[in-house]
Structure 1
């Protein structure tokens, strides 16, 4: 009977999780992190009290057995009841304290969409070698991306969009070999993309729009075999589109609009049946539109407007399986607009301001 009771007790102890308190040093680091920020409306930091930051601290999570802090997840746009009760999104001022770097087991650091957090990204953040997700989007963070960002070998998501980050993209970024999602859009980044950008072969999304990037697109990008979404619109890119981009099997969205690129539109881009969204508008592309469309061409968006394209609209375009949005306006195209199902729903704006196009939906030839 005694031995049965003993084993039953052991079993109960095994299934009832013990609340492991966080180390005092990590609690101190969190309190210093909190002290550098001011959140006046929601009161999310009101829960950051007591000796155990692993229990009940809003947005904080710990390892179940060691008690080390592993996650800080604070989003200013959330479905959390705190936000719904007050009917507002988050607002926070202050800066990111370097004390956060004392959380050596941190795997997730999300401080996103608070609108007014300023200062710089602490340089010491590159010492958080366990970090997998770094999301600081939607603030007023300035300065540069830390030079040694490439030290974060385990990072999978890097999102710094909608801030005021400037300077160049650090060359060490290409060392983030596990990176799958990169979003640096809507900042003030300048300079060229690293020539060996294609080393980031795990990337599926690259969002770099709304910066001041210059130079041309590195040919090495074509080595990103998992890349599905590439957006470098609204920058200052020059040069040609590498023909290799059209041979990428997974790439389905390519946005290069609002740059200063030139040359011909590679036929490989238009013949790639996996390409669904292609926006090359507001550049300086010239020559004719390649006549390479087929029955498997399926474009949700094909925008070639505001360029210097000339010649006829290719007849093969009418053979496309689907053409959701087509814009060929503001070019130097001439001749008869092809007829066919893809054109039935298009209005005159898709073809306006060319040299001498005619036919439905424009005036008769």
Structure 2
């Protein structure tokens, strides 16, 4: 084989290899968007963003995953508390500052955006995130993000997880949030959200968890929440919610955890909340609830926790509590209850603190009647 022929073949192979490499690499537009995204962040300890170099962002870029067919960026998963070997080797959790660049919105095939638990990322959530048509998971928990939830968040028709907890997000819940037809997990706890919960939040028919504790929400609990058949975990505690507890919540078939403590709720405890055999954790403490405790417990009642302390409940402790299959933690302290404490389980193992500061309760574990 002549030198010219050999040289031609070598050159041809090099061209083919270059073409194959280019075909396997991410698109230039995605590559540029990721570099802009990186430029807005600073992670000084672990060096994970140092891996974001080279022409192919689909290979060995920490936290970046591409669709194997289209080579478009599909996932960005950057979690500051991780079991990844990089974190284990460093012996520390991550700390990242900077902001979330609007350039992330150019990644129009993105399905997952997780920038979580970095503690120092600030600024606002780019409003253009609502324009990402394929986004399924938006998880920005554990940062210092401020500003408001994007007004058009409801356009994310495929979104299943919205987790913005443990930030400094303010403003109202945008009305469009009720249009997230695929949403299963809503986590907005520990922010500075104000205003009322949308009255038509019951449109979120796929939702199984709604956690909004530790905000500054006002208004009443929407009756439409009871229409969410799959809702198993509802936490509205530590807000400024007023009004009564909707009786419809007691008939929810899947609800197992209900935390409404530390609000300004009034009225009576709906009978259904204590009669519902599916509810396992019920915390209504630190409100202004009144009336008698419903005498509706039976052999199907199974509670790991009932906390009704710091209310204005009156009357006696229901004797039917002794018929419950299981009562773990029970706290009836700081009310206006009166009369003898029933005997038997669970009362024979509860401490005096469960009944303290009532008007005239007596019997074990308090003073004899």
> Shared topology, TM-score over 0.5?
yes
Q: 1:154 aligns with which of 137, 153, 158?
A: 158
Structure 1 stretches (4+) deviating beyond 4 angstroms? Answer: none
Partner of 2:67: 63
Contact 1:210–1:234 (CA under 8 A) maintained in structure 2: yes
Q: Does 1:301 align with 2:305?
A: yes
* 2:283 corresponds to 1:279: yes
Unmatched runs of 5 consecutive residues or more in structure 1 = 1-16
- Shift of the alpha carbon at 1:344? 2.0
Does structure 2 retain, via aligned residues, the 8 Å contact 1:207–1:230? Answer: yes
Q: Is the 8 A contact 1:20 1:65 kept in 2?
A: no
1:360 is matched with which residue? 364
Within the candidate set 90, 95, 100, 2:94 is matched to 90
Aligned to 1:204: 208
- In structure 2, the partner of 1:339 is 343
Q: Which residue of structure 1 aligns with residue 28 of structure 2?
A: 24
SS in structure 2 at match of 1:126 = helix
Deviation at 1:343, TM superposition (A): 1.6
Distance 1:18 1:32 in 2: 21
In 1, distance between residues paired with 2:84 and 2:297? 47
Match of 2:3 in 1: none
Equivalent of residue 231 in structure 1, options 231, 235, 241: 235
Aligned equivalent of 2:186, options 182, 199, 203: 182
Distance in 2, Cα, partners of 1:93 & 1:290: 52
In structure 2, the residue matched to 1:251 is: 255
SS of corresponding position for 1:198 = helix
For 1:19 and 1:234, the matched residues in 2 are separated by 53
Which whole-Å CA distance do the structure 2 matches of 1:78 and 1:129 have between them? 28
Q: Deviation digits for residues 284-343 of structure 1, max 9, x if unmatched? A: 000000101111100000000000000000111111110110000000000000011222
**3-state SS of 1:344 partner:** helix
Displacement of 1:19 after TM fit? Answer: 7.0
- The CA RMSD measured in Å over matched residues stands at 1.2
Q: Distance in 2 between matches of 1:66 and 1:327?
A: 57
**What is the number of residues matched between the two proteins?**
350
Quote the residue 2:325 is aligned against: 321
Equivalents in 2 of 1:337, 1:321: separation in Å? 18
Deviation at residue 103 of structure 1 after TM alignment = 0.1
Mark the structure with the bigger radius of gyration. 2
Aligned to 1:220: 224
User: Structure 1 residues 28, 18: closer, same or farther in 2, change over 3 A?
Assistant: closer
Give the 5 Å matches for 1:114-193.
Answer: 114-193=118-197
- TM-score, normalisation: structure 1: 0.95
Gap runs ≥5 in structure 2: 1-20
Distance 1:230 1:129 in 2: 28
Contact 1:198 1:221 in 2 (8 A): yes
* 1:250 Cα offset (Å): 0.2
Give the whole-Å Cα distance in 1 for the aligned partners of 2:23 and 2:142: 34
Residue aligning to 2:42: 38
CA contact (8 A) 1:319 1:340 kept: no
Measured in 2, the distance between the counterparts of 1:89 and 1:236 equals 34
- 2:245 aligned residue (234, 241, 245): 241
Aligned to 1:102: 106
Secondary structure of the 1:334 match is: strand
Residues 202-258 of structure 1 deviation map (CA, whole Å, 9 limit, x = unaligned): 000000000000000000000000000000000000000000000001000000000
> 1:321·1:342 contact (CA, 8 Å) conserved in 2?
no
